[in-house]
Structure 1
């Protein structure tokens, strides 16, 4: 019995692997980014200064969609 991915040409196997990775990992990355931005929005001004960020930096970052880096 042959595996479906081994019967495909090499380029197709690589594309299939990428699609599988994309479907499994990309939503997790997006959710993680959403959580990081939410946490950043709750940091107080004193800690922002320690991080070298301004409130405007935080607003700009938090205004981004979850899929944007």
Structure 2
């Protein structure tokens, strides 16, 4: 007796068949990593340079407390 399934067996698509999804995923990972690095750099800026940028230490703490996927 053979097992019955709701969906007929079909070969799984290879990763090559979805180049846009792969490209999009890699772009998203690069963006997240870049955002993480920018927040690390922002945390190291001196107070007098922050004033030149128009930022307060509270602004920096708030931004650096965000997760890498948050804008």
- Give the distance between the partners of 1:58 and 1:40, measured in 2 at CA: 7
Task: Please tell me whether residue 48 in structure 1 is matched to residue 35 in structure 2.
Answer: no
Give 5+ residue unaligned stretches, structure 1: 6-12
Length-normalised TM-score, structure 2:
0.70
Post-superposition shift, 1:20?
Answer: 2.4
Post-superposition shift, 1:36?
Answer: 0.2
Residue by residue, what CA displacement relative to the aligned partner does 1:10-56 show, whole Å, maximum 9, x if unpaired?
A: xxx8xx62x22321111110000000000000000000000000000
- Give the distance between the partners of 1:63 and 1:40, measured in 2 at CA: 11
Give 5+ residue unaligned stretches, structure 2: 1-15
Provide the aligned C-alpha RMSD in A.
1.7
Where is the helix percentage greater, Structure 1 or Structure 2?
1
Q: Choose 1 or 2 for highest CA Rg.
A: 2
1:38 aligns with: 40
